[in-house]
């Protein structure tokens, strides 16, 4: 068969899909260990990330686990820092953490540096809202991470709408 023979290509894709599935199965099998060591519950998405990291870094599974576990710890440390420095409670849902993990692993950088890039914009916008409304708890979702500007614009817009509404109450126009 020729190298660009469609049947051969199909066989190759099937084989690599099967290899990918086996890899994911072996990750799922080690879920208990992951939970114990990194308090990291597995999701479909996380299994994909670990598998991708394993293939990308040509390392063993343990190393891929450690990198994903370390990323998760860095995101939590970032949230703690934001609280210590600005008394802002930042919570990341699981998908937001996965989005940060994915960005970090793709760039070959750390979750800490992905968070660091967001921190100035986050601090500015969330402090503005906190100082004017006393709202100090914010939940970040995957959408918030992948479109930070959009998220922060919505947070600020919601704040202004609430304030304008409150100031407009009880006045007869």
Question: What share of the chain in percent tops pLDDT 70?
Answer: 93
* pLDDT of 93 higher than 50: yes
Average pLDDT of 38-65? 85
pLDDT of residue 173: 46
Q: What is the pLDDT of residue 132?
A: 84
Task: Judge whether residue 172 has pLDDT over 80.
Answer: no
**Are 2 and 8 contacting, i.e. CB atoms less than 8 angstroms apart?**
yes
> Which pTM value belongs to this model?
0.76
- pLDDT confidence of 159, banded at 50, 70, 90? confident
> φ and ψ at 109, to 5 degrees?
-115, -165
- Report pLDDT digits (tens) over 107-154: 989 999 999 999 999 999 999 888 888 889 999 999 999 999 999 999
Average pLDDT, the chain: 87
Instruction: Read off the pLDDT band of 3 (50, 70, 90).
Output: low
* Residue 30 backbone phi and psi in degrees, to 5: -100, 20
| Rounded CA separation 2/8 (Å) | 8
CB proximity list for 113: less than 8 A, separation 6 or greater: 104
Helices (H), 58-147: 61-86, 94-107, 111-133, 142-146
Question: Residue 39 — left, alpha, or beta (φ > 0 → left; ψ -120 to 50 → alpha)?
Answer: left
Other beta carbons within 10 Å of 119? 14
3-state secondary structure of 140: strand
What confidence tens digit (pLDDT) does each residue in 14-41 have?
A: 888 888 899 999 999 988 888 888 777 8
Task: Please tell me the distance from the alpha carbon of residue 50 to that of residue 105, in angstroms, as a whole number.
Answer: 9
Would you say 164 and 133 are in contact if contact means Cβ atoms under 8 Å apart? no
């Amino acid at each position: 068969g020729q190298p660009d023979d469609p049947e051969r290509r199909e066989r190759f894709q099937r084989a690599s899909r099967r290899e990918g599935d086996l890899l994911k199965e072996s990750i799922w099998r080690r879920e208990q260990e992951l939970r114990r060591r990194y308090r990291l519950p597995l999701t479909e998405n996380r299994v994909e990330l670990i598998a991708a990291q394993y293939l990308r870094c040509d390392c063993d599974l343990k190393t891929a686990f450690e990198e994903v576990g370390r990323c998760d710890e860095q995101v939590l440390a970032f949230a703690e820092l934001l609280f210590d420095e600005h008394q802002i409670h930042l919570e990341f849902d699981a998908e937001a953490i996965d989005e940060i993990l994915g960005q970090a692993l793709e760039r070959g950088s750390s979750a800490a540096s992905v968070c660091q890039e967001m921190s100035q914009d986050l601090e500015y916008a969330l402090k503005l809202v906190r100082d004017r409304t006393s709202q100090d708890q914010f939940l970040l979702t995957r959408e918030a991470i992948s479109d930070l500007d959009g998220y922060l614009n919505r947070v600020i817009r919601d704040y202004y709408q609430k304030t304008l509404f409150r100031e407009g109450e009880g006045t007869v126009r």
